Chain A
């Protein structure tokens, strides 16, 4: 027997993911689960499932979960965290959920610097409802509700949530990551860990934005979808840190 260097995290349940082949929700779930387990907080973590493709992720995380109304996960997280400040609370939200219907909730959770962690999955499309335009859909990108390609004169330019949230004084840690190759997956995990550490240390609001893919609704093979992330999404949604606790410490 060799030395096991990688195995399925106990932060995940035994249940198989219901996602389409090649959907990066699975990678992101794994990273969150691994971090929670490695930080030793799995048994006191409470997660919040959104509305979207990951609506049923309460079945996949091996911790207590609440399923929230569309966009309201930050409010639900606030309710939980305020009455149970010693628990670790995270929400998991897609771009329709967080960047469209739930903009008020995410902005104000950041503004109050709620001591929660938000996992934001941006794949530039509404996956669950059948490939409609999202607020993050790229200019020219064809979806079922932007059949001629997103026209900025009609639908505006894609919203950059991390940049926007980073302008909020209460936001403590904001980072955008991608999972299109192993190197970036490893970087992404560090960001998730940092986000949860920010919460564990009581420093306030943390959010990690994942640039993600949707092979099925984009009409691409899983690998082509990741290439599209690299070639089209990342140039518009630059990766990196937008806000960190250290920076806040410096400014204090």
Chain B
């Protein structure tokens, strides 16, 4: 069971990748196979079940597109 969950406003993500290094468990990646409405490669979580809800990704997101829940 995951301890946390992130909800990403995908279409507002600019794909800067600052969240990637912020995730202590390296669970985040930029989606190589898709672009969002803005034309950016959005970030996504590749192993959501490992998320601990630490919110480090949200801390670093310059566009405030991540909502974080503790489960």
Whole-angstrom CA separation of A49 from B56 in the bound complex: 28
A2-B4, A16-B12 known; A22-B67 Cβ under 8 A: no
Q: In the complex, what's the smallest C-beta–C-beta distance from B32 to chain A, in angstroms?
A: 16
Q: How far is the CB of A10 from chain B (nearest CB, A)?
A: 12
Given contacts A2-B53, A185-B59, whether A222 and B71 have CB atoms under 8 Å apart is no
Q: How many residues of A contact B (CB 8 A)?
A: 32
Please, how many angstroms separate the alpha-carbon atoms of A14 and B20 in the complex?
24
Q: How far is the CA of A226 from the CA of B61 in the complex (A)?
A: 13
Q: Does A25 contact B (CB under 8 A)?
A: yes
B64 and A30 contact, CB distance less than 8 A: yes
Are A22's CB and B14's CB within 8 A?
yes
Cross-chain contact A2 with B69 (CB below 8 angstroms) = yes
State whether the Cβ of B10 lies closer than 8 Å to any Cβ in chain A: no
Chain A residues with CB under 8 A of B49: none
The reply to whether the CB of A26 lies closer than 8 angstroms to some CB of chain B is: yes
Please state if B64 and A5 are interface contacts (CB–CB under 8 Å).
no
- Contact A1 B61, beta carbon cutoff 8 Å: no
Instruction: Output the least CB separation between A228 and chain B (Å).
Output: 13
Q: Which of A5, A17, A223 is in CB contact (< 8 Å) with B63?
A: A17
CB distance from A81 to the nearest CB of B (A): 28
Residues of B within 8 A of A (CB): 4-5, 12, 14-18, 20-22, 40, 53, 55-56, 58-71
Mark A residues whose CB is within 8 Å of B. 1-9, 12, 16-17, 19-27, 30, 179, 181-182, 185-186, 215, 221-223, 226
